[in-house]
Structure 1
């Protein structure tokens, strides 16, 4: 597609970030993540509308903080020492006015310590820092948004972490967001479990992150616990362990993976990864 666009716009199109980062360009992102900019002076309204159908328009911001965070999320890695959780929003085509109104609602809904990061004209992420919004409230808020704005969209509730690589977390959760059905709000673990089954690349990455570092004892515990339908007593019996010893193993697994294996979603996620490892 980029080749055809280059033929159409010729020298007025650039894939060089040092060129299209200025206000003279409107920036777009293709489905494969490639970005390009087209000079505003030659871009007609009809061409802009067509490009909006073919690619996502990247939102530029006058806020240094927002720009800095966006660049940070787009790196290969970015360690975050403080607790965080990301809430990802993706909507059908939004006009500029609706997008601005939507951002104002998000600012009023989330805690003041949260950051609202517009990514494209239709996609944004909220980074929760000191306080997080209850999931029930998020469900109600998402329903109200669709009703009040008459727009379709989807939301991914990201993993709550004490610290870690926020850039990698962002990339994985954005990939999971794309596979969520429209009109749905979904948690991190079910979304990533679906992604494990759809993407060999993500499957390998998640296996390397969550399963490969585990010793045999931990893998054995995951397998036995899931086979026993998350029944602690039955699992302890199958592994010839005292119940307290098994509880210690389960606590250790949660500490190692940051995934609560005692929950159905956590157990499903780790068991699926174990089977494909």
Structure 2
């Protein structure tokens, strides 16, 4: 018994959630991956999904073989370079054959699970350097591997995200990773970056480009206990009462305390901006004049931005 395409995809998603070690990718599994995973495919859908053999007993495996197409490697062509990078980054495999001086991983996630991957890849390849490659790791997420110093600026990814939303009518979020040496140990760093990206999507869903630097303040404030948060609730209560002021202070700090840029960003006159800054200082006793005050005020802005302060 096999499902219809829609039914099969729905069942697959449930199984990917149920088995914690499950993976999904667009490239066929390699011999390395076949050693520790059972792989399956759905007719009419691009991609393969696998389950760790250690997580599945024989009866479960036999049942899945009746529901989906069990992957058989004979006769299936592989993109060897993408496969080797996928093994290296996701499965603890050996370094890819073609060495590079350094590399950076740009993770991405699209809010539409039914995107045309071929069309998206074409757009990516027109935007990124010719030495970069796109590797999918699910229906709507994957990575861009930038190599040999051919790294785009963070602002370029922000502009790219806006262009994609305008042209394709869906949103995409990028995580800008760190430049890494071509070493076996770098795969572990990428594993940490995956966790940061997942956290960033949850705590800062409105941003189209994320990085360790943009996520860290949110993680810090989310980990403070009630005792540490008490000063925020008392000293910065004005930010809960006045959301316009909250946005102003947050934008001011994100623009490095630059009055003109902040006023332009908020579409207000500089005199209006100065009035709000003075109001904040008067109510909190915290002048925005140095790094320490900036950092404290920014954490307060993040705390009240979610509109759900702890009682």
Give the alignment's TM-score, normalised by structure 1.
0.50
1:100 to 112, 118, 135: 118
How many residues get paired?
175
1:57-76 aligned at under 5 Å gives the runs 62-76=78-92
Structure 2 residue matching 1:95: 3-state secondary structure: coil
The 2-side partners of 1:114 and 1:172 are apart by 21
Comparing 125-134 with 182-191, greater Cα deviation is found at 182-191
Separation (CA, whole Å) in 1 of partners of 2:216 and 2:77? 30
Q: Structure 1 pair 197/22, CA: closer, same or farther in 2 (3 Å)?
A: same
Q: Which of residues 151, 154, 161 in structure 2 aligns to 1:142?
A: 161
> What secondary structure does 1:84 align onto?
strand
Q: Is the 8 A contact 1:61 1:67 kept in 2?
A: no
Render the CA deviation track for 1:130-168: whole Å, top value 9, x for unaligned.
Answer: 211122211100111122221133211111234442211
2:196 is aligned with 1:176? yes
Counterparts of 1:4 and 1:176, CA distance in 2: 20
Q: 1:186 maps to which residue? A: 210
Deviations 1:190-223 (A, max 9, x none): 3356456768xxxxxxxxxxxxxxxxxxxxxxxx
Q: 1:166 and 2:190 equivalent?
A: no
TM-aligned CA distance change 1:156 to 1:85, over 3 Å = same
Cα distance in 2 for residues equivalent to 1:126 and 1:76 = 18
Q: Report the Cα distance in structure 1 between the residues aligned to 2:67 and 2:140, rounded to whole angstroms.
A: 24
In structure 1, the residue corresponding to 2:113 is in which secondary structure?
Answer: coil
Deviations 1:9-30 (A, max 9, x none): xxxxxxx955633657974479
Give runs of aligned pairs for residues 108-123 of structure 1, distance below 5 A: 108-123=126-141
- Which 5+ residue runs of structure 1 have no aligned equivalent? 7-15, 44-59, 200-263, 269-277
Shift of 1:176: 0.8
Asked which structure has the greater CA Rg, the reply is: 2
Counterpart contact for 1:94–1:121, Cα < 8 Å:
yes
2:197 aligned counterpart, secondary structure: helix
Check conservation: 2:40, 2:50, Cα contact below 8 A. no
Is the CA contact (8 Å cut-off) linking 1:90 and 1:154 kept in structure 2? Answer: yes
Please say if 1:157 is aligned against 2:182.
Answer: no
TM, length-normalised to structure 2: 0.45
Cα RMSD, aligned residues only:
4.3
Q: Does structure 2 retain, via aligned residues, the 8 Å contact 1:24–1:39? A: no
CA distance in 2, matches of 1:76, 1:115: 19
Distance change >3 Å, CA 141–CA 4, structure 1 → 2:
closer
